[in-house]
A = this chain, B = another copy of it.
Amino acid sequence: MSPTIKDVAKKASVSLSTVSLVINGKSNVRDETRKKVEAAISDLGFHPRRAARGLASNKTNNIGFILTEDHFSRAEPFYTKIFLGTEFEARKYNYYILLTTVPKKFNENLHLPRFLLERNVDGVILAGKVPTKLIDIIQKANLPLILIDYSTPTHKTSKVLIDNHQGTSLAVEHLIQNGHSKIAFIGGEISHPSICERLRGYEETMHKSNLSTSNLIFCNEPNTDVNNGYEATCSLFKKGSPFTAIVASNDTVATGAMRCLREKNINIPQDVSIIGFDDIEVCLQVEPRLSTIKVFKEELGAIAVRRAIDGIESKTLLLEKTIIPAELVIRESTGRAPNS
């Protein structure tokens, strides 16, 4: 058996409660006593058992991380990075992250995460678009809740968001500086607030520069995967205005667009420039390498964890909204507009 607080107490010749005070970093311990206890702890290689602490203090030191199944499989590299960010940050504060997924069509009787039922988390982080019913349930359970990359007007929650609007602004400005004026926007799932904001950022920046967007927006796709990018680009060719650049709603969509361009023997970036959003691995694996708007994914996760812990430890659920700027990354898929 590993040593317990009792062993430590004996070794340091103090009482159990004194050891407990030291473990929990409470102030009212004489320095000398603290030293003694700390020595005993490190001598014995003592580590408090979580289960015991949890039972006594009614706290789990776990944070639940929930995303929808299809988000995690479709946009995997994006959410994996966010998750990793949460894990690293949680470690610093001695929390564990419990990750789980829920189906897109969520049924609260079937799919409620176990850690919610078992009250095995002190707070919850939701990433991406999630069922609003799930938000309701978590709020009713009175658990600190942080949304990442999602927000809904009907629910008041803390959230950590990407500056999508600024992101596509950056993208459009970069293209304009390269002499482009006929710039298209493609990608689906406008129902996701982030995608919608990306579209708005594009539109506003275009209009601010007196550029037309008519017949240059193709967002009727139901999703944001490779095929949607491909289809949207096909539509752009069939029904759209002429263009020399494409802003894609994310990197995956951009790769679909690239496929379409290649099929039509259009050179990137000589004939058409293309820029993505997110900065996932694939940007470096396609040919040419994809310019994009970088999202600080690990940071999003880390900040969410800090907010969650704030909520857990302060007991006052203050609602904070944090917006993280995005950053332009220029690679090989964007260049001067033809004849400019």
Contacts and interface: CB of A to CB of B under 8 A. Distances in A.
A6 interface: no
Nearest to A75: B281
Contacts of A259: 287
Interface stretch (A97-105, A153-161, A163-171, A209-217): A97-105
A60 B55 CA distance: 13
Interface stretch (A113-121, A123-131, A179-187): A113-121
A325 interface: no
Contacts of A97: 99
* Copies of the polypeptide in the assembly: 2
Interface residues of A, number: 46
A52 B50 contact: no
A226 interface: yes
B94 A96 contact: no
Nearest to A99: B87
A127 to B, nearest CB: 14
A117 B80 CA distance: 26
Interface string A240-280: 00000000000010011011001000000000000000000
Contacts of A262: 287
A91 to B, nearest CB: 7
Contacts of A55: 49, 51-52, 55
A100 B50 CA distance: 17
A287 B120 CA distance: 46
B117 A47 contact: yes
Contact of A115 (B96, B120, B284): B96
Contact of A49 (B119, B258, B284): B119
Contact of A282 (B60, B96, B120, B285): B285
A87 B100 contact: yes
A87 B53 CA distance: 25
A339 interface: no
B118 A50 contact: yes
A48 interface: yes
A98 B91 CA distance: 12
Contact of A50 (B77, B81, B120, B284): B120
B87 A49 contact: no
A84 interface: yes
Q: Give 9 nearest A-B pairs by CB, closest first.
A: A51-B54, A255-B285, A51-B55, A47-B118, A47-B117, A80-B80, A51-B51, A50-B120, A262-B287
Given A77-B281, A226-B285, 10 more contacts: A47-B117, A49-B119, A51-B55, A54-B54, A77-B80, A80-B80, A98-B98, A258-B287, A281-B282, A285-B285
